[in-house]
Amino acid sequence: MEYENKDTKAAAEVPSRLFASLGERRNISVDMRQVVGKQDILFICLDTLRYDAAKMEEEAGGTPVLNQFGSWERRQAPGNFTYPSHHAMFAGFLPCRFDAKSLADREMLFFPKQIGMGNKVPEGAFGYSGSTVMEGLRKAGYDTWCVGGVAFFDKRTDLGRVFPGYFEKSYWNPSFACPVKESTKNQVDFILGKLAKADEERRLFLYLNVDAIHYPNYFYLEGARQDSLESHRAALRYVDGELGRLFDGWKKRRKEAFVICCSDHGTCYGEDGCQFHGINHPVVNEIPYKHFFI
């Protein structure tokens, strides 16, 4: 049976035409074709970080490490909790510009060449073959590492093995878990130990899931007995210092590396009667994003 007709062909061409017509007007902040194969890539997910909390700490000077690399951008979360958000991001669909009006307004850093968008790689993007960015980078000669945090990365259940299975090497242990106050320090210590033994000639792609900002986070705020926006912010301040150690360690390996740093979704602390995430609320859907070189 013939399923395709002129109408479906025309519809399939629309995204391609959008990229062709609007691509030159998009602001290309980085050409990933000049990054992939030449530099290490770090993808740091500050799991559950709200945009408003990130901006408040930025303006208050509470995150001096991250402030070195420019201001946070407000972006749309790919999903309202970890699982859907990461499926999108690992396919190359990173958090979208908050003011985007169409598909063509995305700045794609990684683009799945086999998807039905006319198979046209947008300007500045690295077009990859495979089902995930990590698979595409492996084909480009990268070692791919995952250091997990939240339960979706803990490898203790079938569901917790899905995302780690996308990487050549994946790591998790109980000291990285959400209820551990020193979780980010433990993750960074582990990464720096692995990095010291890594092949200096081999390019690395590291995904780090930082879960300190996820609940519970009350213990980052002295005297607190329950999570709040204030303890959420205190957790971010703690994480910022540990990221400074990670970046310093990476500089010893490479003079330069490319970093993607963002949240996957936000979370509610009683706004409009809402709690946590997995729901669509502005503070869940608005997240911070930045990318930069170290």
Kindly report, residue by residue over 213-267, the tens digit of the pLDDT.
999 999 999 999 999 999 999 999 999 999 999 999 998 887 789 999 999 999 9
- Listing DSSP states for 29-53 in one string gives ---GGGTTTTSEEEEEEETT--HHH
Q: What is the CATH number of the domain that holds 183?
A: 3.40.720.10
Residue 92 falls inside a structural domain: no
The whole domain housing 178 covers 38-83+131-293
Task: Tell me, yes or no, if the pTM score tops 0.85.
Answer: yes
Residue 91 falls inside a structural domain: no
Element (H, E) at 17: helix 6-22
Residue 79 falls inside a structural domain: yes
pLDDT at 158: 96
Residue 159 falls inside a structural domain: yes
Residues in Cβ contact with 79 at an 8 Å cutoff, skipping those fewer than 6 apart:
85, 86, 87, 88, 264, 265
Beta bridge partners of 206: 42, 145
**pLDDT tens string 144-164:** 999 999 999 999 999 999 999
Q: CA nearest 284: which of 72, 58, 77, 73? A: 77
Number of neighbours of residue 26 by Cβ within 10 angstroms:
17
**pLDDT tens string 40-85:** 999 999 999 999 999 999 999 999 999 999 999 999 999 999 999 9
Phi, psi of 199 (to 5 degrees): -65, 115
Domain total of the chain: 1
Look at 7-21, 89-103, 217-231 and tell me which has the smallest mean pLDDT.
Answer: 7-21
Alpha-carbon gap, residue 84 to 86, rounded angstroms: 6
Tokens 């971010």 -> residue: 236
Number of neighbours of residue 116 by Cβ within 10 angstroms:
10
3-state secondary structure of 155: coil
